Structure 1
Amino acid sequence: MSRLPAKKTGRLQRLQQREESLPERAILAFWKEESLYHVSRALRKSSRLHTLAQKLQAQSYSRYGHRAGRFIAKNAKKGVYHYRAGYGGASVTEAKKAGMVALCDHSIAHPKVLEYMMGHMGRFPEGALPEPTNPVERLILADIEAADHVLVNSDFVKATMLSQGWSDDQVTVVYLGVDEQFLERIPKREAAPESARLLFAGSYSKRKGAPELVEAMSRIPELPWTFEIASHIDEASGEGVREFLRDPRVTALGFLSRGDLAKKMAANDIFVFPSLVEGSARVIFEALAAGCYVITTGNSGSIVVDRVHGAVVPVGDVSALETAIRWAITNLDQVREIGKANRELVLSCYRQWHYADQVQELYRHLSA
């Protein structure tokens, strides 16, 4: 990391800020493949180069799999080969040759379902689906299909797997929860003001429900609220966004460091995240840990239960989203009490060691 340029992407900054202390012997970096991947990410910013970007990203994944395969062929021992969907490729074949159990880690909807949901407002498909058109998603699908078992990060993702023919005992759910470094950065909540404070974090885009959120908020002009967007705003997130940003109650914060995001979450009452399709949105866990009341959809892959931790609204339903936001704004005492309980839930059940313990238990089960 220290040898990379000073100017970094938001994603890389977030990774550095996690401050994970891993021994060097535990890390094998494939810099050529990583560099190719980052070139593809940069090209994606141009709509004219999107197809080329997909091809380069797929090449980076495929090359990574071949490099990992050579390493596995020389060093494999019996046990579990845990790999991320898309990066497996040839390495999965080598691991199976060595008698290892192939455990594929997948963190968003099944590739076929993902492509369908993106084009159908987050709706679940009915019947068989075609192969993905995106070359990256085809590699991810191949890795999933090569697996003996799949580890996913939410019940929502598991539901998309089951819809594509996987059996219940082939897919295990373990929620990632919140890392200790973020928890340590969350400040104590101060005395709450009378008006409601709402926050969105993540990529402010169509997939995250930005157009629906703009429309819902625009229907609530008479109530006292402020709304902050902790995100870069996707230019394709909808025509109404620019007008929405002119409202003096709305503030676009841009990318925030993890420390600043923790402070913002602790300073807001209501976290709104009406996503069309996710894996398991980390920002929701972080908002829960900061004591927020969460309004989201069933497709966000969160642990939020309607009327327990916040509100779960149907995907793409602006009226339901408006109703949920209105209730929260006008019932701040209940919202803040629920927020306190949400924080305690994360601290007691969804920390890093909870995730590690459950994954290690899965390793033992698969190795038996």
Structure 2
Amino acid sequence: MNVIYSIGARFGGAGIGTVACNAAREIERRGYLKKVICWSDENSGIRKDKISTVIPMGAFISRLPFHGTVDNCYDWLSSFHVSDCDVFHGWNNHSLISLRKAKANDAKIFIERASSHILRYKELVAEEYGRFGVNAEVVDGGVVRKCLQEYEECDYVLVPSEFAYESFMEQKFNKEKLIKIPFGVDSGRFRPMKKKDSVFRVLFVGQVIMRKGLQYLLEAFSELNLKNAELVVKGKVQAEMRGVVGRYEKLRNLRLTSWVEDLPRLYSSASVFVLPSIEEGSALVTYEAMACGLPVITTPNSGSVVRDGKDGFIVPIREVKALKEKILYLYENEKEAKKMGRSARKNAERYTWEKYGRNLVAAYRKALE
């Protein structure tokens, strides 16, 4: 079996680049990786002769803010690197031209959708923009059409969570084409470390954008006004959130940072991790926080593997009252918070990248039967 893996991102970089890198490593480790096609290789560890970067300066181009145009450019360029294979695995909105070329050579086509269905995504984020008066287009119409076309033309769509899976079922998508495989975490790198102070620290890690739900955490934490407590937000504040964040910047116990050198150490400095997402596929930061031994407060829409009441709490989206109740509970019940953190660590240990790779390769094999 020969697999070509294509992603229009910095391979081995943050976010989807991390998922792609770990997937390709597992495919390579089993002897099935023919090549990776990407914008750039960010020290992924994959053999250089198996990586095809589509153009010099790919890392720079991938960061340009014209996302639809950049993705279309990648799709066209990457198609020149597609050759005979048994399986073509491409990321959604990066792969229409490439998948057609691979399909013409009888490859089985897997499209990775690391978010909810594009129409559900658009609906949820549009609602959020409306609630906060953001005058911007959620997603270009061309992107929506391309995503839908890839769903139609591929053999299988891969999703990482029950939330993402159900978003497809709500659209009457063919169940036989849908495969759910949760992501993984490096529980050697992300591990519990001793907390060095007594501050009750609430941590948020992620892009500071509407769909991550930070606006509700800021409101909840501000209203709680806890003593000896701090909210740390690690992430770059995007334009759509500047007005919201600006209203809270003078909070004495709010710390904003766009970069940290040691992410596992940051997790271990916290008492609880909170990600009140409106829309995700399966947020890697929830796996990382759990692996670091933190109780996690999140929503069903984060696509996490958190077990409600065991590893933390699952709260409804946009519910400031519920966020306040759960944060306050962990603030007042330190022993229970630590117990949940230990449970979260044990649960995270079940979600390895090796297991992810094993499930992924099994899906490939089944498709080729």
How would you bin the TM-score normalised by the shorter chain? 0.7 to 0.9
Q: Aligned residue for 1:137?
A: 144
Aligned counterparts of 1:238 and 1:212: Cα–Cα separation in 2: 14
Aligned counterparts of 1:161 and 1:31: Cα–Cα separation in 2: 34
2:177 to 150, 155, 170: 170
310-319 or 26-35, which deviates more? 26-35
Aligned counterparts of 2:297 and 2:16: Cα–Cα separation in 1: 28
In structure 1, list runs of 5 or more residues that go unmatched: 1-8, 45-52, 123-130
CA RMSD of aligned residues (A): 2.9
* Structure 2 residue 196 is matched with structure 1 residue 188: no
168-177 or 282-291, which deviates more? 168-177
- Structure 2 vs 1, CA of residues 178 and 248 (structure 1 numbering), >3 Å: closer, same or farther? same
Q: Deviations over 1:137-171 (max 9, x none)?
A: 33222212211111111111111111112133321
Deviation at 1:309, TM superposition (A): 1.3
Aligned counterparts of 2:173 and 2:17: Cα–Cα separation in 1: 36
1:60 to 62, 70, 93: 70
1:231 to 231, 235, 241: 235
1:155 to 150, 159, 162: 162
Residue 120 of structure 1 aligns to a residue in which SS?
A: helix
Q: Deviations over 1:246-282 (max 9, x none)?
A: 222221122223xx21101011110011011011111
- Structure 2 vs 1, CA of residues 35 and 345 (structure 1 numbering), >3 Å: closer, same or farther? closer
Superposed counterparts of 1:72-91, under 5 Å:
72=82, 75-77=83-85, 79-91=86-98
Residue 53 of structure 2 aligns to a residue in which SS?
A: coil
Superposed counterparts of 1:89-100, under 5 Å:
89-100=96-107
Aligned counterparts of 1:69 and 1:352: Cα–Cα separation in 2: 28
Residue 172 of structure 1 aligns to a residue in which SS?
A: strand
8 Å Cα contact 2:89-2:110 kept in structure 1: yes
- Structure 2 vs 1, CA of residues 153 and 226 (structure 1 numbering), >3 Å: closer, same or farther? same
Q: Aligned residue for 1:128?
A: none
- Structure 2 vs 1, CA of residues 13 and 36 (structure 1 numbering), >3 Å: closer, same or farther? closer
Superposed counterparts of 1:1-368, under 5 Å:
19-31=43-55, 34=58, 37-38=61-62, 41-42=63-64, 44=65, 53=66, 57-72=67-82, 75-77=83-85, 79-121=86-128, 133-179=140-186, 183-184=188-189, 186=191, 188-190=193-195, 193=198, 195-237=199-241, 239-257=243-261, 260-347=262-349, 349-368=350-369
Aligned counterparts of 1:354 and 1:12: Cα–Cα separation in 2: 18
Deviation at 1:18, TM superposition (A): 7.8
- Give the letter for the 1:59 counterpart: T
Aligned counterparts of 2:296 and 2:222: Cα–Cα separation in 1: 19
- Structure 2 vs 1, CA of residues 192 and 172 (structure 1 numbering), >3 Å: closer, same or farther? farther
8 Å Cα contact 1:111-1:132 kept in structure 2: no
Residue 244 of structure 1 aligns to a residue in which SS?
A: coil
8 Å Cα contact 2:192-2:293 kept in structure 1: no
- Give the letter for the 1:339 counterpart: G
- Give the letter for the 2:144 counterpart: E
8 Å Cα contact 1:231-1:256 kept in structure 2: no
- Give the letter for the 2:84 counterpart: A
Give the structure-1-normalised TM-score.
0.81
- Give the letter for the 1:218 counterpart: S
The structure whose residues are more often strand, as a share, is: 2
Aligned counterparts of 2:167 and 2:89: Cα–Cα separation in 1: 21
Aligned counterparts of 2:41 and 2:217: Cα–Cα separation in 1: 29
8 Å Cα contact 1:175-1:355 kept in structure 2: yes
How many pairs does the alignment contain?
330
Deviation at 1:61, TM superposition (A): 2.6
Q: Deviations over 1:56-82 (max 9, x none)?
A: x3333334333333433xx313x2211
Q: Deviations over 1:52-110 (max 9, x none)?
A: x2xxx3333334333333433xx313x22111111212221122221111111111111
8 Å Cα contact 2:203-2:267 kept in structure 1: yes
Identity of aligned residues (%): 23
8 Å Cα contact 1:33-1:63 kept in structure 2: no
Residue 314 of structure 1 aligns to a residue in which SS?
A: coil
- Structure 2 vs 1, CA of residues 35 and 328 (structure 1 numbering), >3 Å: closer, same or farther? closer
Aligned counterparts of 2:154 and 2:102: Cα–Cα separation in 1: 11
The ranges of structure 1 where at least 4 consecutive aligned residues each deviate by more than 4 angstroms after the TM superposition are 9-19
Residue 117 of structure 1 aligns to a residue in which SS?
A: helix
- Give the letter for the 1:94 counterpart: K
Aligned counterparts of 2:127 and 2:265: Cα–Cα separation in 1: 36
- Give the letter for the 2:351 counterpart: Y
315-324 or 243-252, which deviates more? 243-252
The structure whose residues are more often helix, as a share, is: 1
Deviation at 1:35, TM superposition (A): 6.0
Aligned counterparts of 2:70 and 2:196: Cα–Cα separation in 1: 50
Give the structure-2-normalised TM-score.
0.81
